[in-house]
Copies of this chain bind each other. A is one copy, B any other.
Amino acid sequence: MRSRHVVLARRPEGAPVADDFRVETRDLPALSEGRLLVEVLYASANPGSRNRLGGDASYARGMQLGETMEGPAVGRVAESRNPAFKPGDLLSGPFGWAEHVQISGRGTRRIPASTPSLSAWAGILTIPGLTGYFGLRDVGLAKAGETVLISSAAGPVGATAGQVAKLMGCRVVGIASGEERRSWLREEAGFDAVIERRGADTVEAMAERIGHVAPDGVDVYFDNVGGIILDAAIACMRPKGRIVVSGQIADYNADPSSRYGTRRVYEFIGKRLRMEGLIVFDYADRYDEATDAMTGWIAEGKLKFREHVIVGLDGLAELFCAQLRGEIFGRPLARLHA
């Protein structure tokens, strides 16, 4: 049988563009003993994949040219030569940008038939939501009554972190671009306040906006973007504040020497700040804890999420690039076999 895949065609120079990828049609061999044929139902674009395109050193190994683009996905077992799985089983796994994959089944998670959302298993129940959950709780050590600030708050990581913080009894301030995202965060996700990102292009301007809605300061800053917002947050942090480094989108595309980082390391002394990075894979043995909690909240309507769904693989590369440019509101997903 044949399957269409999106592969890395060349290494991006600067920000990725759609032409860095291409769609290929492959002949899949007959299924080997012990393996599964999975029909992908939802493929997703994960901004963290940006780190793997360059071929330079990063925490995940770099992707090879011609390799199927990675990404969490939801699939259904179409054919099984592994007795642990049967046709119709629903799986969440790193199937990537492909219509069909042949896999061993290792590294997949089973999706309960009763799940309140199938697509969430290619979205907030995977890396982004797990990052929000563990980052906020285990790295940020947020406590009830504290003020939590979240950048890129309308993205799946930030929106999950913020809603988990609300469920923990924190006051939650988000930063997002545009009225659509901001009103969704306030009205759907229940954030206490949301700051407009646009138009605050200096540390001082952003710090003023933060100070306006968090006059007593910030206890936990969940950083999805880096750049000047990080410095504005540091300027607004309370003593013993914690910074969760979840993403640094502002610096991913920059030449190393022109990355911004933070100018405000000196403030770490006076305020006794702590900044710590997070890779969600370190929490793999606790994914079920997080998934059980999050699916419960989804079913109860306490954890909202946005998706940006296209049909078919062909637009996924452009959707990924647009996501990195901040143009997409919601988890970018491609629905296949719909």
Of chain B, the residue at the smallest CB distance from A279 is B272
In the complex, are the beta carbons of A269 and B252 less than 8 A apart?
A: no
Chain B's nearest CB lies how many Å from the CB of A128?
14
In the complex, are the beta carbons of B268 and A245 less than 8 A apart?
A: yes
Given contacts A245-B269, A273-B277, contact A260 B263 (CB under 8 A): yes
Binary per-residue interface labels of chain A (253-276) against chain B in the complex, 1 for a CB within 8 Å, 0 otherwise: 000110111111111111111111
Contact of A269 among B59, B230, B265 (CB under 8 A): B59
A246 located at the interface, meaning its Cβ lies under 8 Å from any Cβ of chain B in the complex = yes
A132 located at the interface, meaning its Cβ lies under 8 Å from any Cβ of chain B in the complex = no
- Give the most central of A230, A263, A265, A273: most B CB within 10 Å: A265
Given contacts A274-B274, A275-B275, contact A263 B269 (CB under 8 A): no
A16 located at the interface, meaning its Cβ lies under 8 Å from any Cβ of chain B in the complex = no
Chain B's nearest CB lies how many Å from the CB of A132?
14
Contact of A246 among B251, B252, B262, B269 (CB under 8 A): B269
B-side contacts of A263, CB under 8 Å = 256-257, 259-261
Chain B's nearest CB lies how many Å from the CB of A245?
4
In the complex, are the beta carbons of B261 and A272 less than 8 A apart?
A: no
Contact of A262 among B257, B262, B267, B270 (CB under 8 A): B262
B-side contacts of A257, CB under 8 Å = 263
B-side contacts of A51, CB under 8 Å = 270
Of chain B, the residue at the smallest CB distance from A249 is B266
B-side contacts of A266, CB under 8 Å = 226, 248, 251-252, 259, 261
Given contacts A259-B263, A261-B262, contact A269 B275 (CB under 8 A): no
A33 located at the interface, meaning its Cβ lies under 8 Å from any Cβ of chain B in the complex = no
Of chain B, the residue at the smallest CB distance from A51 is B270
Provide a sorted-by-A list of 29 A–B residue pairs whose CB atoms are within 8 angstroms: A51-B270, A58-B270, A59-B270, A230-B265, A245-B268, A246-B269, A247-B269, A248-B265, A248-B269, A251-B265, A252-B266, A256-B263, A259-B264, A259-B265, A259-B266, A261-B263, A261-B266, A262-B262, A262-B265, A268-B275, A268-B277, A269-B277, A270-B279, A272-B276, A272-B278, A272-B282, A273-B276, A274-B274, A274-B277
7 tightest CB-CB pairs across the interface, nearest first? A268-B277, A59-B270, A261-B263, A248-B266, A274-B276, A269-B277, A245-B268
Contacts from A to B (Cβ < 8 Å): 51, 58-59, 226, 230, 245-248, 251-252, 256-257, 259-279, 282
